[in-house]
Structure formats: C-alpha cells, structure tokens
Amino acid sequence: MNDNPVARWAVLILVASAMFFAYMFVDVMSPLKSTLEKTVAEGGLGWSSTVFGTYASSEYFLNVFCLFLIFAGIILDKMGVRFTGLLSTALMVGGAAIKFVGISDWFQATAFCGWLDSWWVAMPGTAKMASLGFMIFGCGCEMAGTTVSKILAKWFKGKEMALAMGLEMAIARLGVFAVMWISPLIASSFPDAAILAPVGFCTALLLIGLINFIVFSVMDKKFDAQLEEAGIATSDHSAEDEFRVSDLGKIFTSKMFWIVALLCVLYYSAIFPFQRYAPNFLETTLGVSAEVGARLFSFFPILAMVLTPFLGAFLDFKGKGATMLMLGAVIMTVCHLCFAFLLPVFPYKWLAIVLIAVLGVSFSLVPAALWPSVPKIIDEKILGSAYCVIFWVQNIGLFAVPLLIGSVLESTGGYLVPMIIFASFGVMAFIMSFFLKVEDKKKGYGLELPNVQK
C-alpha cells in the first residue's frame, strides 16, 4: 500500500490532523493567562504565575517521574503502532475531559473541590484537577508523538521520509497558530465561560483525532497483511527481529543517542515552555491586550509551516542534517536574546512579528533534521523505544523549565531573566549539535547524507 502515493499520504493526513488537534489543546489556555489570574468573581480562576507554571509542567509529570514514556516505548515496540495509537488518543480524550470538568463552575461548587482547596492552599482545587487531566493528556500526547514518528518511518521507508515528517510537524504546528486565534475568539464570544468554552471546543476536536486513528488502524492492518503475503517482515511481526526489553541496552549505551537526546531536551526547553508564556510576554512588553498578544504570537509557526516541508525535501535529496541542527540552534539563541534586550527597547508590533516568525524558522530547521536522523543511528525494531526515551529526556526539561520560569517571573516581576534562560538553552543546544556533527564524521552514521535511496 505504501507504494501508492494516495495511500501513504492519506495516512500522513490522518495522523497529522490528530496531532494538530493535540497541539491546539496543549496551548488552549496560553492566551488566557490573564483571565486565569482574575478572581472567580471576575470570571477567572484566581491562579498566579507560579500556579500557571505548575499547571503547564503537569503535562509531563507522569511521563518523567512515573517513567510512562519508557513504558510507552516498550508498548509501541511490543504491541505495534495501531494499538499504541488508539491507546494514546484515548488517553488524550480522557485527560482533556478531566481538565474540562476541573475548571467548570459545576466542579467548583462541589465538596470535592472544596477538599482539594483545603490542602496545598497555594494551588487552587481547579488547578489541581486541571493538572491531573493535563498529566493524563500529556501521557497520551507524548505517546502519540512517538507513535506518529514510527508510523511515518514505516510507511515512508525508502521514500520521502523527511518530507513526510516535516509536513506532519508543519500541520501539527498549525494547531499553535489556530488556537492563538480561536481560543481568545471563543472566550470573547462566551464571556460567561471564557475559559471553559475554548477547552471544551478543543476537547471535541480530540475526539475527531481518535476517529482518525481508528481509520488509520484499518489501513495499517491491510498494509501489514500485504507485507506478510509478500514475505516482507515488519518490526511489529517478525519473529527473528522481535523486540526484547534487553534491547533497550543498545539505546542507553549509544553515545550518539545521548547526544541527540541532550540536543533535543535543550532545544525544546527553549521552545515549548516559551509558548506557554509568549502571549503574556508580548502583552506586558508591548502593552497590548491578551488577545492581541496571542494573535501576534500566532505568527510563530507560519514560516515553520512553509519551510519545514521544503527543508524535509532538501534533507531527503541533499542531506546536511547535522549542519541544519547547528544553524537552527544559532537562530533560536539570537531570537531569545532579541526578546530579552531589543524588543523592550523598541516595542513595535512589526518587530515582534519578525522575531517570532524567525524563531519559527529555527523550529523548522531542528525538528526537520532531528527526527529523521534517529532511524540512522538506531535499529528499527527498537526505534519506538528510542523515540520514547528521547521524549522522556525531553519531558524532564519540559517539566522543570515552566516551573523555573514561573518562579523566576514571580520573583523578578519581568521577562528579562526568563528570556536569558531560554537563550542559554540555545547556546548549549548549539554545543551539542557541534558534538553531533563531529561524531557523525568519525563514525559515518550518514546524518549529512540524503534519505532517498537511489
């Protein structure tokens, strides 16, 4: 089936749209930070910056401290992409539903919410319940991300793999653009449910994502049957290549793997936590409304969406993956330094849009080169586990950094130090990308070589 362009690109659309909805849900409350900090009487939830940071970190709590992502990798390599895909999307829907209930007026009036309010009083009961739902959602979202990577590696093997992964990332990031516009718009249309309505809308979209994975599962089952009829073994079904837990040692003992994992956590720690605070950063730095701040930041994925497919195609046919990683880290560092020192001095909207869009270029270069490089250094039968271990390391940073930024923001009252922290991650990511290029040159993994086999 994957020799048929219509079939393999249909698979891409199905799984990418599910991740599009997931990315929307991840940032649905980012444009609403100011509203969240209002009192309940004013239509908010009474959260502080520290509470918001704790909530943002909760998405990664179970993945990091309960090692869920490690188990997710084992599940993926043992049970295959169909089972894992359905499980991950179901977890996203379930976690989203809990979060939706947790911020509702109905829940705030319950005795259970009052009991939650009575302990760890710095964290309101609504925030505790929302964080619980976000934890469960986060398990499903990260599991889905690794599953999608393995799906595309399977369906586009020997074909346009980097282009497919680039397009998937571009479509997913369109969710960031969409929610930065849609969330404030829904909030203003339903002033009595300014927080609940956007969350409910994105929860409904996650249900569509679950349906998409059901359709994909039907197609993938037929694909596996065709491979078996043709005598072509797959990593999910081959007896001699069957995954064993002991195979994880090949991951943890790989120097190249750890360089990639550290590069990943350093780079993404300067991107995803920044997304949580960016609308409020622009609101305070430029002196605009929360809605305008969100709309300005919505330009972040625009150039990324346009460039990522082309960069993926370039990587497929020309290579230079390690070089792209270095360039992406440099661009990200410069952008965060400009946010820290240039934008406060020249608080113009056009300058903010330019910096945000250029940051999106970095968000094209690094992921477009990073994820297609993993199959070059890891055996296919443990590829799912490798992606999950990378995501686990990444989640450690994504859990810790929002807590750090929220605490620093609370203590300093401004965004100068947080922006410097983000820039420092970019510097360290550049150092790791340099080590990656040196190691690739020594060992010949082929990270600078094209993906398409001639």
| pLDDT digits 0-9 by tens, 266-283 | 999 999 899 889 999 999
Is position 451 within any domain? Answer: no
Is position 448 within any domain? Answer: no
- pLDDT average, residue stretch 37-65: 86
| pLDDT digits 0-9 by tens, 184-225 | 999 999 988 889 999 999 999 999 999 999 999 999 899 888
- Mean pLDDT, the chain, whole residue set: 87
Contact 132, 238 (CB under 8 A): no
Is position 450 within any domain? Answer: no
Residue 70 to residue 105: CA distance in whole angstroms: 37
Contact 133, 100 (CB under 8 A): yes
Report in angstroms the alpha-carbon separations of 449 from 11, 208, 277, 439.
26, 38, 37, 14
Is position 340 within any domain? Answer: yes
Residues of the domain holding 39: 5-443
| pLDDT digits 0-9 by tens, 311-330 | 777 877 887 888 888 998 99
Q: Which of 55-69, 117-131, 369-383 has the lowest average pLDDT?
A: 369-383
Report the CATH number that the domain containing residue 299 is assigned in CATH.
1.20.1250.20
pTM, 2 dp: 0.78
Say yes or no to pLDDT of 173 above 60. Answer: yes
Is position 453 within any domain? Answer: no
| pLDDT digits 0-9 by tens, 80-121 | 899 999 999 999 999 999 999 999 999 999 999 999 988 888
Say yes or no to pLDDT of 241 above 90. Answer: no
Helix H or strand E encompassing 269: helix 255-269
Smallest Cα–Cα separation from 34: which of 288, 323, 247, 231?
A: 288
- pLDDT average, residue stretch 386-390: 79
End-to-end CA distance of the chain: 20
Say yes or no to pLDDT of 20 above 60. Answer: yes
Count up the domains in the chain and report the number: 1
